[in-house]
A and B are shown apart, each in its own frame.
Chain A
Amino acid sequence: MAWIDAIATDDVDEEDLIRFDHDGKTYCIYRSPNDEFFCTDGLCTHEQVHLEEGLVMDYEIECPKHNAAFDYRTGEALRAPACVNLNTYPVKVEGDRVLIEI
């Protein structure tokens, strides 16, 4: 596990997400309505659709294909058709940079 310099804080709006690819894997980095940052796997656990075009509402991410929903703080699957939780990763902010531990 290592801390990776992923994005600038301004790269993503509040209550939105951005895709981040690293070392052959894909992730989503979220900025909450309260200006906190979180990171999960990039693909929905239902059918591996990328979440980058999904809808962020409060602390939930909704998959753009089948509307499965997850709590992006914990990865918990909140709404069918997803039944398996998303993996989450530690995040820290240093200055204007967002780092994720993967």
Chain B
Amino acid sequence: METRDYSMLGESGRLAVETGLATAEWYHTQVPRKEMKALMQRADGPAIRDTIILFAGMMVFAVIGVALWPSLWSLPFWLAYGVLYGSAMDSRWHECSHGTAFKTRKYNDWLYQVASFCMIRNPVTWRWSHARHHTDTVIVGRDPEIAIMRPPVFFKLIANFFGIFDTIDGIKRMLLNASGRLTDEEATWIPEQEQPKAIRVARIWVVIYATTLALALAMGSILPLMVIGLPRLFGAWHHVMTGLLQHGGLADNVIDHRLNSRTVIMNPVSRFIYWNMNYHVEHHMFPMVPYHRLPELHDAIKHDLPAPNTSIADGFREMWPALRRQLRNENYFVKRDLPESAKPYREDFHVAAIAAE
């Protein structure tokens, strides 16, 4: 049985470079230049609107949560606040890292900094790691953001619905960076001239968390941590639920996003929290298209894509049994069917993965 080495410095990564899977040219659907130019156009309006709604929602829920504290009646307000803090901020972090949320660059940068803090993801480190995720999507040993490694560890997957391992990792890395160091893996994808920025941000964050913790100790209450820090745990479930669907159970080591990514039709509330990243094949194929134009992009290229999953539940019905099967055979994956109107897969690149089905 094949064993995958997910380390950025390991054997699988070396093989990916050797076989040409790393930094390869990926399939993308042909879209006329004029149409694509129109889809890529930036605007401030949609993201300003959504950001006002997001921060207003957070403020209202937190104020009511604090006012009702410690009564159990405060619980639903903390849960709502937590989802906006621990899940909506994940998608804001993501879209702003691409620089596509707003037309005005400084707006992207501001929201990116806030969202990175909420998610405990160093804004410098993760900008580079996400660039690598787009270069080498689900290429084992190259992509540092593979959420479900094979064989899956269900205990970890489920624990992460409460942000447990991600938060521990985020805090460990924050403390390491604040001490002036990077992990060996971080050093492989962050250029040297950018590394001091990662360390400076980590030090600022340590001060904020230390202040919050000191306030909690002085008050003899966890209330300050309910506002800053703990929502990263109890609000994580939505971004984990939607995030696992992005690539879970699908092919790895292929260079066609139609094979390794999943588009899921979702309800409007989840789409607001997730900022339309349910159109995930489309996003990976054309990362320049802002989140608010992805539904149009989907309509423009759906003739060339596998049929989307019809709901979050439908996505899980497809993914979860595949993950269970990967416990017994880590080479198993769900091969997505393309419509007749689609251009074929580059079978020459995919033959190894398909043969393993």
Contact = CB atoms under 8 A, between A and B. Distances in A.
Interface of A: 16, 46-48, 53-55, 57, 62, 64-67, 69, 79-81, 83
B246 interface: no
B128 interface: yes
Given A65-B135, A67-B98, A47 B37 contact: no
A62 B288 CA distance: 8
Contacts of A65: 134-135, 287
Given A47-B23, A66-B135, A79 B105 contact: yes
A64 B287 contact: yes
Interface residues of B, number: 23
B288 A64 contact: yes
Nearest to B286: A64
Contact of A69 (B99, B128, B194): B99
A55 B135 contact: no
B131 A66 contact: yes
24 contacts: A16-B33, A16-B37, A46-B131, A47-B131, A53-B36, A54-B288, A55-B41, A55-B288, A57-B103, A64-B287, A64-B288, A65-B134, A65-B287, A66-B135, A66-B287, A67-B99, A67-B288, A69-B99, A80-B127, A80-B128, A80-B194, A81-B128, A83-B191, A83-B193
Nearest to A69: B99
Nearest to A53: B36
A67 B42 CA distance: 12
B91 interface: no
Contacts of A81: 127-128, 131
Question: Is chain A's binding surface mostly helix, strand, loop or mixed?
Answer: loop
A57 B6 CA distance: 38
Contacts of B37: 16, 55
Contacts of B201: none
* Complex A-B, nearest 10 residue pairs according to Cβ-Cβ distance, in ascending order: A81-B131, A55-B40, A66-B131, A67-B99, A67-B98, A64-B288, A83-B191, A55-B288, A80-B127, A47-B135
B100 interface: yes
A15 to B, nearest CB: 9
Nearest to B41: A55
B309 to A, nearest CB: 26
A11 to B, nearest CB: 12
A48 B193 CA distance: 20
Interface centre among B36, B40, B41 (most CB of A within 10 A): B40
A62 B103 CA distance: 12
A83 B131 CA distance: 13
Given A47-B23, A53-B36, A57-B42, A79 B99 contact: yes
Contacts of A64: 286-288
A65 B255 CA distance: 14
A16 B127 CA distance: 27
A42 to B, nearest CB: 14
Given A67-B100, A79-B105, 18 more contacts: A16-B33, A16-B37, A47-B23, A47-B131, A55-B37, A55-B42, A55-B288, A57-B42, A57-B103, A62-B288, A64-B286, A65-B287, A66-B131, A67-B287, A80-B128, A80-B194, A81-B127, A81-B131
A69 to B, nearest CB: 7
A80 B131 CA distance: 9
Contacts of B40: 55
Contacts of A80: 127-128, 194
A48 B194 CA distance: 20
A67 B134 CA distance: 11
A17 B177 CA distance: 41
Nearest to B31: A53
Contacts of B131: 46-47, 66, 81
A80 B105 CA distance: 12
Contacts of A83: 191, 193-194
Contacts of A57: 42, 103
B286 to A, nearest CB: 8
